[in-house]
Amino acid sequence: MSSLELRQLRVRYGRFTAVDGVDLMVPDGGITGLVGGSGCGKSSLGRATVGLAPITGGQILVDGTPVAHRPRRGPVQLVFQSPYASLDPRMSIGAAVAEALPPSRWSPRPGATARARAAEAAHYLELVGLDPGRASLTPGELSGGQRQRVALARALAARPGVLVADEITSALDVSVQGAVLNLLRRLQRELRFSLLFISHDLAVVRYLADQVAVMDRGRLVEHGPADRVLHAPGHAVTASLLSCVPTLEENP
Amino acid sequence: MSYACRLRHALRTPVGLTALTGVLALALVALLGPVVLGPAAERVDTGAMLQGPGAAHPLGTDNLGRDIAARVVVATRLTLGLTLAATTIGVLGGLLLGVAPAVLGRRAGRGVTAFVGVLISFPGLLFVLFLATVFGVGATGAVLAVGLAMVPPGARLVQNLTASVAGSEYVAAARILGVGRLRMVTRHLLPNIAEPCLLFAAQAAAGTLVAFSGLSFLGLGVQAPSYDWGRLLGDQLDRLYLNPVAALAPGAAVVLTGVVFALVGEVFAQAGRPVRPPAGGAVAAPGPAPRPARPDGALLQVHDLRVTFPDGRRPVRGVSLSIGEGEAIGLVGESGSGKSLTAQAVAGLVPSPGLVEAGTLRFEGRDLLAERPRGTALAMVFQDPMASLNPALSVGRQLSEVVEVHERAARSAAWARAVDRLRAVRIPDAARRARQRPHSYSGGMRQRAVIGMGLMGTPRLIIADEPTTALDVTVQRQVLDLLGEVRRESGAALLLISHDLAIVAGVCDRVLVMYAGRIVEDLPVANLAGRAAHPYTRALIGAVPTLTTDRDRELATIPGRPPEPADAHPGCPFAARCAHADDRCRTDAPELVPHGTAARVACWHPLTPAAPGPGNPIPEVRDASTAQEATA
């Protein structure tokens, strides 16, 4: 629904520059994969798009309009890496999703607003394949994959134009990872949000993304269509990442 | 289990019952005392002044002939009321000042933190006396003084607690959803710090009681004609040698009430600790008689290994495996499958109170159930290298310690070997790096140093438990290559544990797939791609996208979730999630039996024929159909 554009984005923690002048365009309704080794700045870039990292230069534009550099409700939403840390352990999953819904208009009938919000939260839980009857459970009673579904439902309930997914499957078991990736791809096709999918796993990025951007030491070293970047890498970093993907076929 | 539920549980313990009884007794005395004994405590009897204990006055009388026992009982209400009022002031003030830095902007927040820091640097008693002088002599002044003196330590505690909650990802998530400050405090911060705050309040109440009694005793607190325990103590103290019980009774009241408050705090603390539910009904069935899993001569022989916990969890349920000299075995499974505990059982590292039982558990021919493995023959590499390195010692020192302890080597020789081994695991500039502490190493270098530590002796088996999970993809490849190299050079066997089949495939000869505490398949690595027989192994392979996965097809998934370590399942543990399962799978557990020439599988319906021959080719197309069935 919206495009995300980064112009000369810079993120610094003290004297350490995590993101160093990155220009990146996530086209409207497309999936862009962002890959790189650990410490390359890809997560800092993701957090910067929602104002959670200290931006020291550059601009973040959604549909050409600059967005705030501090965390507030905006057109970009982030799904965090670990569903064990990103959900409040004391809040029911229904309440967590309802909290993300846009502020509702005041209603003269007491309880009507709360009921409407609960119904809408239930709708989002259903959307990610969770039984709305379990809305009163707390995250501790769910498995990792189910928690990540709740985190996804919460981010989508805020009706973002752009969704940033930061390593959302790396804390999950392999059997669950596939289900979450299938779900994310189905939702993206249905709801047409733009997706910036951050991962260290090239195979996962290749499966999802149309465009792939490669980061190394805070800089963008390669960016292009997924097929081109992964089959004919133009930069040594991309080639080295590709050669490190373990496969079942090889033998010592 | 919810906090309320744990609180109920804590109240049923002896400590909980005592605390509850104490609180009820105190409340009853405070409520009824003044009503019943009020007139007796106020009655002036000039005929019975300064009497000792007797039938009419169990604790004697004071200088106006009033009954001291009645006065101690009546004073309960005022003492408790003032204590609770001061505690409320202290806790509320602490919460306000403590939460403020998380809610205010950065600059104002720093101001509040600095202010609390300055306040806390004054000694508590000095602070109380200073405030008591400022507010003037009297009960109100004392309540304010004691209450306010409690604010700085309370604020510091709340600040530390909220800082950790405010830095959490769920608060970050709420911020980017635009949750307001007030709602952030009431819905996210306070519920997550409530338990330690309750504990603090209970302990603070005990402290307040003593502080308040102290002020009254000094004459700065409650003034005549009102009286609390501190004042009664002060009044009677000069007659301590004439009528000791009269002075000791209010003191005892203070002590007992303080103990009740402390017990209440203990109950809150107990409820804050998670307790596991008591053991479920299932009891581990006795295993079959010991028999060797493989012909003798294997380096490690495990038969029917079981790990159980007293709370009923059975994470490892009869694992049999054997590792030959120099062999590289991969042990693959999802979290909770028992793969790490299997390795820990072999290394004798199962955390207490876990119980390890086995038909056979032999390493180098020694029974590991009876004795520990020999010196450095078994090396262990963990997921987090920082967990196996001491941050306060140089890396070289930690490596050389291994041979100093096990082989009584001289220090210089041990150090030389440490540098040599660090060089062997590709630590650049090893002589200089050996003098550095682990924090100057990168994650990959730390893991290599730990592998180097395993090489200090003469390992015959290296157990690596998820050695690359915490590492970067490029570093992961280096560490895996290193493990392969070390194995070739030292001739040691390798047991590599991972959740990722692809990682294991690159290093190992054989793969064991674990599910719900059992090994469900044992197959050569070459069979992984397309020739796995167990539906679970197939599903695991299909669920991971590779660089050749068809982008237009959905990834294979496994419906449902793995059974919990405490669950009892009579049949195949995978039956509930398996597309091929029938009634037999749900009632009879399949044994791990030989399948074909090189594999073993525990499945009633293996997906490949047992003996592929020329007329019976391996159906490669089954792969796709299985994937689709698993998604359905």
Inter-residue contact B499 to B332 (CB < 8 Å): yes
State residue A223's pLDDT score.
94
3-class secondary structure, B306 = strand
| CA distances for A59 relative to A66, A67, A74, A95, B520, angstroms | 7, 8, 15, 34, 54
CB contact under 8 A, A244 and B542: no
B384 touches chain A (CB under 8 A): no
Q: What is the pLDDT of residues A163-178, one digit of tens each?
A: 999 989 887 887 788 8
CA dist., res. A185 & res. B543, Å (int): 15
Segment B67-87, tens digit of pLDDT: 888 898 989 999 999 999 999
Distance of CA B124 to the CA centre of its chain: 33
The strand order across the sheet containing B593-595 reads B378-381, B461-465, B493-498, B328-332, B510-515, B518-524, B599-601, B593-595
CB-side neighbour CA atoms (13 Å) of B36: 12
- Residue A250, pLDDT above cutoff 60: no
- State the pLDDT confidence band at A113, using cuts at 50, 70 and 90: confident
Closest residue in B to A68 (Cα) is B176
Which residue among A91, A243, A247 sits closest to B546, beta carbon to beta carbon?
Answer: A247
Q: What is the ipTM of this complex?
A: 0.87
Q: Where are the domains of chain A?
A: 4-75+160-243, 94-157
How large is the average pLDDT for residues B272-277?
A: 55
**Residues in Cβ contact with B68 at an 8 Å cutoff, skipping those fewer than 6 apart:** B57, B59, B60, B61, B62, B232, B236, B246, B249
Residue type, B619: P
**Of the residues B272, B299, B330, the one at which a domain ends:** B272
What is residue B285's predicted lDDT score, i.e. its pLDDT?
A: 37
User: Is B486 within a domain?
Assistant: no
* Residue range A4-75+160-243 in CATH 3.40.50.300: yes
CATH of the domain at B555: 3.40.50.300
Instruction: Let me know: does B165 contact B192? Beta carbons within 8 Å.
Output: yes
Q: Are B302 and B363 in contact (CB under 8 A)?
A: no
DSSP B275: -
pLDDT at A139 over 70: yes
- The residue from B256, B272, B288 where one domain ends is B272
The residues near A13 (Cβ < 8 Å, ≥ 6 apart) are A44, A53, A54
Q: Name residues 139-158 of chain A within 8 A of B (Cβ).
A: 143-145, 151, 154, 158
B393 at interface of A, judged by CB pairs closer than 8 A? no
Model pLDDT for residues B448-464, shown as the tens digit of each residue: 898 888 888 888 999 99
Which pLDDT band, with edges at 50, 70 and 90, does B274 fall under?
A: low
**What pLDDT does residue B494 have?**
93
Q: Is B367 part of any domain?
A: no
Q: How confident is the model at residue B122 (pLDDT cuts 50, 70, 90)?
A: confident
Residue B38 lies in a domain: yes
Q: What is the pLDDT of residue B632?
A: 36
Cβ-contact B578, B572 below 8 angstroms: yes
How close does chain B come to A227, measured CA to CA in Å?
A: 11
Q: Is residue B14 domain-resident?
A: yes
CB B487 within 8 A of CB B326: yes
Domain that holds residue B630: 519-632
**Over the stretch B532-550, which tens digit does the pLDDT of each residue have?**
899 999 888 888 888 888 8
CATH number at residue B151: 1.10.3720.10
**Quick check: is B452 in a domain?**
no
Within a domain: residue B209?
yes
Count how many Cα atoms sit within 13 Å of the Cα of residue A114 in the half-sphere of its side chain. 4
Residue A179 contacts B where some CB pair is shorter than 8 Å: yes
B298 in any annotated domain: no
**Model pTM score:** 0.78
A181 touching B, CB under 8 A?
A: yes
Task: Please enumerate in sequence order all residues whose Cβ is within 8 A of that of B247, keeping only pairs 6 or more positions apart, or say none.
Answer: B233, B236, B237, B239, B240
Yes or no, beta carbons of A86 and B557 under 8 Å apart = no
Q: Average pLDDT, stretch A31-43? A: 89
Question: How many domains would you assign to chain B?
Answer: 2
Q: Which of B226, B249, B272 is the last residue of a domain?
A: B272
Q: Which residues does chain A have within 8 Å of residue B443's beta carbon, measured at their own beta carbons?
A: 38
